[in-house]
Amino acid sequence: MAKKGRVKLVKPDWCKTCGICIEVCPVEVLELGQDRIKIVYPENCVGCENCELSCPDFVLKVVDENEE
């Protein structure tokens, strides 16, 4: 079981809106914005790290809930 965490944009300017992270998120935390991915339901993040592992541009990172 994945640890409880939250997804964070660490390099938002690198996002090319490919949408891979949206497809692999099991709880629909992310949405496609005009120029980058948007975290719309961060409270639903289960910390599975699918988005972080699938992002070809290293835009996302899953961190502990209490980490900045």
pLDDT in tens, 4-60: 689 999 999 999 999 999 999 999 999 999 999 999 999 999 999 999 999 999 999
Contact 7, 60 (CB under 8 A): yes
Cα–Cα distance measured from residue 64 to residue 18, given in angstroms and rounded to the nearest whole number: 25
Res. 1: pLDDT tops 50: no
Q: Residue 55: which domain range?
A: 5-64
The total domain count for the chain is: 1
Structure tokens, 26: 């099991």
Structure tokens, 61: 């990172």
Query: Beta-strand (E) ranges in 5-67?
Result: 5-9, 30-32, 37-39, 60-64
The predicted pLDDT at position 3 comes to: 58
| CATH number of the domain within which 40 lies | 3.30.70.20
| DSSP-based three-state secondary structure for 38 | strand
The predicted pLDDT at position 2 comes to: 54
Cα–Cα distance measured from residue 67 to residue 48, given in angstroms and rounded to the nearest whole number: 16
